[in-house]
Amino acid sequence: MDLSTELKGRDFISLHDFTRAEISLIIDTAMGLKKELKSGILHPYLAGKTLGMIFQKSSTRTRVAFEVGMYQLGGHALFLSPRDIQLGRGESIKDTALVLSRMLEGIMIRTFSHDEVLELAKWADIPIINGLTDLLHPTQVIGDMQTITEYKGGVEGIKLAFVGDGNNVAHSLLFGGAKMGMHVSIACPPGYEPDAGVLRLAEEDARQSGARLSVVHDPLVAVEGADVVYTDVWASMGQEGEAAEKEQHFMQYQVNKRLMSVAHKDAIVLHCLPAKRGKEITDEVLDGPQSAVFDEAENRLHAHKAIMALVM
Ligand code: CP
Ligand code: NVA
């Protein structure tokens, strides 16, 4: 596979920072790398390079995908827990960025405040990859759009309904959909709408791409005729204290067989995982014939490899 050098050196922090052509390039690269891997073709595009991975929050998929992905690309990944590195004892992000830039070729960070990622990117002179913040989860949505492309032949004109909290995943779906011409309808309880600033920026992009974006309170309205039904936990990492209260508000927002009956008959179901089975999604749907959730999880590997191979 001929790897494009167009994105070399770029940070991967928000899908809003990328053009439609650039996002398509990342998805196409992910699909190409997946094909090569399945055919046993080695692709050490990052031989000799090292990725540092700072995790201030837990992770199964993101960590394993970046670590295994880096190995498959011929490089090395370092897991940097805040318990062990000096950042956790108060060393500044600026100094951390300046030092790590002398030793690594890229940094992936998962943290709470989105500003921390921006601060890291401001001082680092190596690519910074956003592995999830309270605001955004862009690497997830590359894997999601890859999955939708595999099932539906593309993302343009696809109708995606996100049912649940207007959270980081919802925000990245809005940004990704808006760039790519995918219609995104968010159904959430009053008071749990997506961030107004994210929505405003996404709407600007949507005017260019023809994507229709909407926020509604009735899940049936969002899911009616949808090609993709997406959900996520009601309480994200860092909101554990609000989980019980949130549950009261989200009971009507469960993705179950009844809700799926109004979606397009060939609709697929996505969930970024981890799931709270029996809460935002039933076992019946998660394990059912319309679920593409475990393909979606696998695609994080290919998507992350594409991001690393293109920017590092
Ligand atoms: N979807 C996702 O990012 O999963 P992890 O939290 O396990 O990385
Ligand atoms: N919204 C979830 C996504 C987890 C991958 C969270 O932030 O916890």
Region 268-278: what's the mean pLDDT? Answer: 98
Residue 260's pLDDT band, with cuts at 50, 70 and 90, is very high
Please list, in sequence order, all residues whose beta carbon lies within 8 angstroms of the beta carbon of residue 30, skipping any fewer than 6 positions away.
Answer: 142, 143, 146, 299, 302, 303, 305, 306
Domain of 190?
A: 138-297
Residue 56: CATH number of its domain: 3.40.50.1370
Does a structural domain hold residue 47?
yes
Phi, psi for residue 80 in degrees, rounded to 5: -115, 100
Same domain, yes or no: 122 and 28: yes
Task: Name the domain count of the chain.
Answer: 2
Report residues whose beta carbon is within 6 angstroms of any ligand 2 atom. Answer: 132, 137, 167-169, 232-233, 236-237, 272
For the Cβ of 113 lying below 6 angstroms from any atom of ligand 1, the answer is: no
Same domain, yes or no: 131 and 143: no
47 CA distance to ligand 2 middle (Å): 31
112 CA distance to ligand 1 middle (Å): 14
43 CA distance to ligand 2 middle (Å): 31
Does a structural domain hold residue 278?
yes
pLDDT tens for each residue of 121-156: 999 999 999 999 999 999 999 999 999 999 999 999
pLDDT tens for each residue of 230-249: 999 999 999 999 999 999 99
Does a structural domain hold residue 53?
yes
Report the pLDDT value the prediction gives residue 254, as an integer from 0 to 100.
98
Same domain, yes or no: 64 and 192: no
Report the pLDDT value the prediction gives residue 83, as an integer from 0 to 100.
87
pTM above 0.95, yes or no: yes
Same domain, yes or no: 108 and 153: no
pLDDT tens for each residue of 11-65: 999 999 999 999 999 999 999 999 999 999 999 999 999 999 999 999 999 999 9
pLDDT tens for each residue of 67-124: 999 999 999 999 999 889 999 899 999 999 999 999 999 999 999 999 999 999 999 9
Region 283-291: what's the mean pLDDT? Answer: 98
Same domain, yes or no: 180 and 216: yes
Report the pLDDT value the prediction gives residue 82, as an integer from 0 to 100.
86
Same domain, yes or no: 271 and 201: yes
Same domain, yes or no: 84 and 151: no
Report the pLDDT value the prediction gives residue 48, as an integer from 0 to 100.
98
137 CA distance to ligand 2 middle (Å): 8
Closest Cα to atom 2, ligand 2: which residue? 236
Three-state DSSP state, 230: strand
Same domain, yes or no: 119 and 92: yes
pLDDT tens for each residue of 200-211: 999 999 999 999
Report the pLDDT value the prediction gives residue 11, as an integer from 0 to 100.
99
Q: How many C-beta atoms surround the C-beta of residue 56 within 10 A?
A: 20
Closest C-alpha among 117, 163, 130, 155 to residue 256: 163
Same domain, yes or no: 36 and 167: no
Closest C-alpha among 226, 234, 232 to residue 259: 226
For the Cβ of 62 lying below 6 angstroms from any atom of ligand 1, the answer is: yes
Same domain, yes or no: 251 and 168: yes
Report the pLDDT value the prediction gives residue 63, as an integer from 0 to 100.
98
Over 245-280, what HEC string results? HHHHHHHHHCECHHHHCCCCCCCEEEECCCCCECCC
Same domain, yes or no: 224 and 277: yes
Report the pLDDT value the prediction gives residue 51, as an integer from 0 to 100.
98
In whole angstroms, give the CA distance from residue 28 to residue 252.
37
What are the residue numbers of the active site?
Answer: 110, 137, 140, 232, 272, 300
Same domain, yes or no: 257 and 111: no
Does a structural domain hold residue 269?
yes
